[in-house]
Chain A
Amino acid sequence: MLVNRKLILAHFWLAFAVFGVALTLGAWQMFIRSPIGTWLSNPELYYRSLTAHGTVMGYVFPTLVAMGFGYAISESALEQRLVGVRWAWTGFWLIVIGSVMAVIPIALGRASVLYTFYPPLIGNVFYYLGVVLVVVGSWIWVALMSINLRVWRKAHPGAPVPLAMYANVAGSYLWAWTAVGAALELLLQIIPVAAGLKNTIDAGLARIFFSWTLHAIVYFWLMPTYIAYYTIVPRAIGGRVYSDSMARISFILFLVVAMPIGMHHTFADPQVGAGFKFIHSAFTALVALPTLLTVFTICASVEIAARLRGGRGMFGWIRALPWDNPMMLALAFSFVMLGFGGAGGLINMSYQLDASIHNTQWITGHFHLIFGGAIVIMYFAIAYDLWPHLTGRELIDIRLIRTQLWLWFVGMIVTTFPWHWVGILGMPRRMAYFDFGDPAIAPQALSVTFSAIGGFILLTSGIMFIVILARGMRTPKVDAGPYRFAIAVHQSATVPVALNTHALWVALMIVLTITNYGYPILNLALGAGTSVPAVYVGAQ
């Protein structure tokens, strides 16, 4: 039951529009710093573009997708009109205003500090205020998801919350709490300095706050993808979810352990104690658990679909899968990229191995493969799946859709595999140009060229995606029927309270944050005397 289609479409269209812009910037960056580009006479342009790319791709695009998808889930899984539509629009417009407010100083070269902020570099205050507005807008969504679930519970006392909504609300809580780290950094540390009220800042403390957000934000990006794995893919390919409770446990695990592990981003930092680094390292290993469980459950669910279609044999069933179905294709690509990206992630989480690749191009390769690859390709699939229900029109270019997904997959592999490789060779991140003529780094030139070509394949695929959706607004009207989610093989009538509510897990998440972040933050916040003079970028 999708009533507020306009609201959902607005979120998706804005998300994909900004995605298109940021993707173009990304492709340009790949090109301009590669051996086939020419060195920029103004390196600041590169950092400006990089700031815009990171800010949009990290904060605006996935947030809008999660919000739009969240509203769609709330209406269709709960079969209940969205409560608080006016608030939802308020959140949407806050994001629009915030994005514009952040992008103007970036475009003027007044905030080329990159999306990670890293003080004591300080840009224009409106950049940070814009990011805050985006986050505030998304918090309205968090509240609405919680309220809508509560309203539904009142009407259905004791009934199991549909899996999609359960996961969606878990994702929204994760985001609400995750964003607090960066929010504290912005409100307590950066904005007072950017506004000129203070002129010193603790750079080490800021990095700790940011790590609070920086890792779990990835799991927030991941949530729509995992919801699609569990609740859309099996339905779309004619199967069942292998296990409803395993799915819930996976989302719960993400909620609990995605957050208190962020310090694996600071393994090489001098301001964090080694003991906390070890604890975070161990908890980071734990977060592999929900992914391993998901891989099993989804493979089993897919196998069910294959066997229902007449698949036989130990591995013979794989051939019986509906490979021409875009959802099947997207899932397979997503899993392949998740596999490689996850393996890379295991290297990042151990501080012995991390030392070899910390802050090299390996890291950028890694998160592009996971986020840009495994996650975003499922965003595409979600959009394709939802579109007829939102527009009331059919997407008729199935071939084009398949080509688009193929190109994204190939493009992502071509981009990120060489990227990982040059990282191992020690190529640092975030440089506007490299002197590939120097024999010491000349061997990296070929790999970087491949990456740049991959960037253009991705750009092509991104354009195709937007064209497909735009054409989908003009095809003849059809009745797509109600939007449904996959059901489990054994759909039980009751679910244990703990797996049907979030309170216990949210409490554990907060407690773990306190144990794992409380001391390191207070330690530096209260009188370490390590505030340093701010360095204002762009001669402002």
Chain B
Amino acid sequence: MSSEQAHRSVEVAARVERRWATIAVIIVVGMALLAAFAGIHRATMPQPRVETTDPSRIHLSGEFVESNLGSVLEANGNVTVRAIGQQYSFTPACIVVPADTPITLRATSADVVHGILIQGTNVNTMLVPGYISEQLMRFTKTGDYLMPCQEFCSFGHEGMWGKVRVIDKTDFANRAKAGGRLSCVGQ
């Protein structure tokens, strides 16, 4: 191979390489844009704020006292669910929510790191002691959903399964009339 030929082939190689690199950059930028776009048009965004709390005192005051755990119908028609994870259960162990309603889940951990995962949905958040997790959700289908703890929380982790029951919107409204915090515990 003459030196001129060698020089030309280096150029060819570099050109092909540049083309590929351009394609790769376009793929990468496309993916990042997709994430941003999806963030704007779908509700699955990370929670907007970092909020803190003291896990060993949550049962004494604040929003995670026992009488405030469960679902409540807000004045604007939305629903707020408050729950805690602890070794080795969620309280309420069965969460009841209406279908087709914007729901805010607020939850925290009373001891170690736990996680909330509602099977068959993309509701999925960590519960880190000291911090409050907030997640927006909306269910379209009524029925029972399993809600396992998704992070190792010591030796009883395999037994930490909660439940979510999605009921008809009007049923929920009727039950909410009695006041208090709703759950499907023991039903």
Interface window among B23-31, B62-70, B73-81, B172-180 = B23-31
CA distance A528 to B52 in the complex (A): 8
| Chain B CB within 8 A of A461 CB | no
- Which residue of A is nearest B20, CB measured? A296
List A residues 418-466 near B (Cβ within 8 Å).
425-426, 428-434, 440-441
A432 x B158 contact (CB < 8 A) = yes
Measured between beta carbons, the chain B residues less than 8 angstroms from A282 are 32, 35
A285 x B32 contact (CB < 8 A) = yes
CA distance A188 to B125 in the complex (A): 27
CA distance A292 to B17 in the complex (A): 11
Contact among B44, B119, B122, B134 with A270 in the assembled complex (CB-CB below 8 Å): B134
B20 → chain A closest CB, angstroms:
5
Measured between beta carbons, the chain A residues less than 8 angstroms from B56 are 532-533
B143 → chain A closest CB, angstroms:
11
A425 x B119 contact (CB < 8 A) = yes
| Chain B CB within 8 A of A352 CB | yes
A274 x B48 contact (CB < 8 A) = yes
Measured between beta carbons, the chain B residues less than 8 angstroms from A207 are 113, 128
The range of chain A's interface size is 35 or more
| Chain B CB within 8 A of A273 CB | yes
B186 → chain A closest CB, angstroms:
19
CA distance A429 to B114 in the complex (A): 12
- What number of residue pairs across chains A and B have CB atoms under 8 A from each other? 205
| Chain B CB within 8 A of A281 CB | yes
A346 → chain B closest CB, angstroms:
7
- Which residue of B is nearest A271, CB measured? B131
A interface footprint on B129-163 (CB within 8 Å = 1, 0 otherwise): 11111100000000010101111111111100000
Contact among B14, B112, B128, B146 with A204 in the assembled complex (CB-CB below 8 Å): B128
B112 x A359 contact (CB < 8 A) = no
CA distance A476 to B52 in the complex (A): 67
Measured between beta carbons, the chain B residues less than 8 angstroms from A490 are 6, 9-10, 13
A289 → chain B closest CB, angstroms:
5
- Which residue of B is nearest A112, CB measured? B155
Please indicate which of the listed interface residues A270, A273, A293, A530 has the most CB atoms of chain B within 10 Å of its own CB. Answer: A270
Size of the B side of the interface (Cβ < 8 Å), in residues, is 70
A293 x B20 contact (CB < 8 A) = yes
CA distance A125 to B43 in the complex (A): 43
CA distance A358 to B51 in the complex (A): 21
CA distance A356 to B21 in the complex (A): 31
A interface footprint on B102-118 (CB within 8 Å = 1, 0 otherwise): 00000010011101011
CA distance A204 to B21 in the complex (A): 38
| Chain B CB within 8 A of A522 CB | no
CA distance A207 to B157 in the complex (A): 19
| Chain A CB within 8 A of B124 CB | yes
A246 x B113 contact (CB < 8 A) = no
| Chain A CB within 8 A of B38 CB | yes
CA distance A350 to B44 in the complex (A): 11
Measured between beta carbons, the chain A residues less than 8 angstroms from B113 are 118, 120-121, 203, 207
Contact among B14, B35, B122, B156 with A281 in the assembled complex (CB-CB below 8 Å): B35
List A residues 317-361 near B (Cβ within 8 Å).
346, 349-352, 355-360
| Chain B CB within 8 A of A209 CB | no
A113 → chain B closest CB, angstroms:
8
Contact among A293, A440, A530 with B130 in the assembled complex (CB-CB below 8 Å): A530
B59 → chain A closest CB, angstroms:
14
B129 x A120 contact (CB < 8 A) = yes
B151 x A350 contact (CB < 8 A) = no
Residue numbers of B with Cβ under 8 A of A are 6, 9-10, 13-14, 16-17, 20-21, 23-25, 27-29, 31-32, 34-36, 38-39, 42, 44-48, 50-52, 54-56, 87, 108, 111-113, 115, 117-120, 122-134, 144, 146, 148-158
- Could you list 12 A-B pairs, sorted by A, with CB under 8 Å? A43-B156, A47-B155, A268-B115, A270-B126, A270-B132, A271-B50, A273-B50, A278-B39, A292-B27, A357-B124, A426-B120, A532-B111
Residue numbers of A with Cβ under 8 A of B are 43-44, 47, 112, 114, 116, 118, 120-121, 202-204, 207, 242-243, 246, 266-274, 277-278, 281-282, 285-286, 288-289, 292-293, 296-297, 300, 346, 349-352, 355-360, 425-426, 428-434, 440-441, 489-490, 528-533, 535, 537
